[in-house]
Amino acid sequence: MFPAKPTSRFIPFALAFLLLTFTVLVTANEDPVVGADTGEDDDGLKELTAIDEQEGQEHDQHQQGFDQQKEAEITVKSLTVSNLHIGKGTDFSGVPTKMLTVNGSLRMSIYNPATVGIHVSSTPIKLIYSEIAIATGQLKKYYQPRKSHRTVSVTVEGNKVPLYGAGSNLVFSQTGVVVPSTLKFEIQSQGNVVGKLVKTKYRKHISCPVVLDSSNSKPIKFKKNTC
């Protein structure tokens, strides 16, 4: 056997040094990549957190609007009758009966206390005498902004309405005729809280006793607790 050369003793050390150097280089190259991934993950997490917070705020706003949606407040102000006349005639089938003609104007105040705007409308507004609608009117649908007041006027009229047997119960005076009647209708309000996805609807029934007098052309004012 030949004796080992002196240089062969350094081969294991050289291999170990090369392996260590390679490991250090690989680690140095990988660290920036890991750091970059971590930064991207942090940015993505922050973005998701911001989106969640924004959606939460929008939900809270929508929920607040829903919670604060309230029914419209209706105040019937007055009824002015410009024409009240009774006479004799025949109905569409030729039956003789007393006929009543009424022309008037109804004023009322509507307040929207909600934090969203509402669409306001009504059922037919009727003046009822002995279960007969002697005059009718209709509130035209409109939009009312949030937390606002509005005064509206509605024409109510009836032309030669047949009274049949109810005509015998009317009270006549030297100056004209007196007709005890009841004003009946319903106010409807609708609000859109979340666009058109969530809708709130309210109905308020109005019933007011009122006495019509052909000798009085002044507005008939309603007290607060009358209707």
The region of weakest confidence among 64-73, 76-85, 206-215 is 64-73
pLDDT of residue 193: 72
We find that the CATH architecture of domain 73-221 is Sandwich (2.60)
- Identity of residue 91: D
Pairing between β-strand 220-221 and β-strand 198-213 as defined by DSSP bridges: unpaired
d(CA 152, CA 172): 33
Other residues' Cβ atoms within 10 Å of the Cβ of residue 87 = 9
d(CA 61, CA 57): 6
3-58 tens-digit pLDDT: 544 455 556 656 666 666 656 565 555 544 444 455 555 666 666 566 555 555 55
CA distances to 80, 112, 160 from 102, in Å? 11, 31, 8
Q: For the full predicted model, state whether its pTM sits above 0.85.
A: no
Produce one character per residue of 166-203: b if its CB has 16 or more CB atoms within 10 Å, e if not. Answer: bbeebeeeeebbbbebebbbebbbebbbeeeeeebebe
Q: Are 171 and 178 in contact (CB under 8 A)?
A: yes
127-181 tens-digit pLDDT: 999 999 999 999 999 999 999 999 999 999 999 999 998 888 887 777 788 999 9
Residue ranges of domains in the chain:
10-67, 73-221
72-127 tens-digit pLDDT: 999 999 999 999 999 899 988 989 999 999 999 999 999 999 888 999 999 999 99
Q: Are 188 and 123 in contact (CB under 8 A)?
A: yes
